[in-house]
Amino acid sequence: MRLLDLTRLLLTAERRSLLWTRLVHGGEVHQTTPYTCEDRYPELFDLAARVAPDARRILSFGCSTGEELVALRRRFPEAEIVGSEINSRSRRIARRRVEEDPRTLVVKHDAVSGMFDVIFALAVLQREPHKIAEMEVVDLSPHYPHQRFDAAACDLARMLKPGGLLCVANAHYRIEDSSVAGQFEPTAESPVMEGPIFGPDGRRLDGATGRTVFRKVA
């Protein structure tokens, strides 16, 4: 079965890029699936635009092939938008997608610098959600430990300006359970994030929900 999985990974350029990303960045990878589509979260994007209309610098953490960057540009026409992506193939596609937009930049995940007014991490801080749901995983730790999520949450908090917005959706863990929870409060209109959600010990929290849009207060 392992040989069969490896063969499947090598069949297409996309799958080869996934294998390469896992081999080279195994300790840093969150979501391994590059799937995305344009305007995937319209209500969330619209909410962010209403709450932070004057945002001047925006980060799309895990921008994949760049569709999210295009959707954000429509809501924030004057902002500098930075997309970070760990998968080199996805990064190349994203750069081609926004090459005519001089105020949109696509960089490696470890080349992000400066502070941001709004940060999006959408369907990134998780691991193969469909497989996890199908397997009815009770303990997520062997697949995606809370420490990895928490480290990312700390990095995002560090790059966010006081008063800025952090938008986290379709994650396996909650910002409310992270080390930086005390720095954030959910916005009044924050949509609810539903499960499966796991606690800091990696155990599944049946029926648990979380918030998705937070303002940095500390």
Residues 172-198: pLDDT tens digits? 999 999 999 999 999 999 999 988 999
Q: What pLDDT was estimated at residue 25?
A: 45
Backbone angles phi, psi at 209, to 5 degrees: -130, 170
Tell me the CA distances in angstroms from 184 to 120, 175, 214, one per residue in order: 15, 8, 6
* pLDDT of 194: 87
Please give the torsion angle defined by the CA atoms of residues 123, 83, 114 and 78, in that order, rounded to the nearest 10 degrees.
Answer: -110
pLDDT digits (tens, 9 = 90+) for 61-77: 999 999 999 999 999 99
**Confidence (pLDDT) at 79:** 98
Residue 98: its pLDDT value, please? 97
Scanning the structure block, which residue is given the tokens 């392992």? Answer: 2
Distance from the first to the final alpha carbon of the chain:
49
Model pLDDT, residue 24: 46
Distance CA 137, CA 17 (A): 26
pLDDT of residue 20: 43
Residue 186 dihedral angles phi and psi, to the nearest 5°: -70, 145
Beta strand extents in 128-199 (DSSP E only): 160-169, 184-186, 192-193
- Of 3.40.50.300, 3.40.50.150, 3.40.50.2300, 3.40.50.720, which CATH number belongs to 2-216? 3.40.50.150
**Residue spans of the chain under pLDDT 70:** 1-36, 218
Give the start-to-end residue ranges of the domains of the chain. 2-216
